[in-house]
Amino acid sequence: MKKSILILSIIASSVFAFAAKSDYFGTWQSQAAKSGNVATIKIFEANNKLYGNIIGMTHPKKDDNNPDKSKRNRNIVGITIISSFTYDKNNDSFENGLIYDP
């Protein structure tokens, strides 16, 4: 899953470099991980910030590797993995947010 998110981030940053702000929003799929798992991620704007939630997985699983032990039993589907990015119109980029790698 880690490689899938990394690859998705690289692809997304390449696509985002040539896109209008609204082109970022929508539903995206990660590349398949070695396990064959594919995540479906919804990218959206709220309060002028960019967010992304995992809305589906081909093989749903728990957040077993979370550094916070109290969150290791939660489902990965439904969690926010991209949060609080702000849009810089001068650079046509989203900046200063967080990405969680489940």
**Per-residue pLDDT tens digits of the chain, which is 102 residues long:** 555 555 555 555 555 455 666 788 999 999 998 889 999 999 999 998 999 999 999 999 999 999 999 999 999 999 999 999 998 888 888 899 999 988
Domains present along the chain, CATH in parentheses: 2-99 (2.40.128.520)
Confidence at residue 94, expressed as pLDDT on a 0 to 100 scale = 87
As a whole number of angstroms, the distance between CA 32 and CA 4 comes to 6
Confidence at residue 5, expressed as pLDDT on a 0 to 100 scale = 53
Confidence at residue 50, expressed as pLDDT on a 0 to 100 scale = 93
Confidence at residue 52, expressed as pLDDT on a 0 to 100 scale = 96
Q: Is the pTM of this model over 0.95?
A: no
* Neighbouring residues of 91: CB distance < 8 A, sequence distance ≥ 6: none
Confidence at residue 32, expressed as pLDDT on a 0 to 100 scale = 92
Residue pair 13/5 in contact (Cβ under 8 Å)? The answer is no
- Burial of 21 per CB tally in 10 Å (0-12, 13-18, 19+): middle
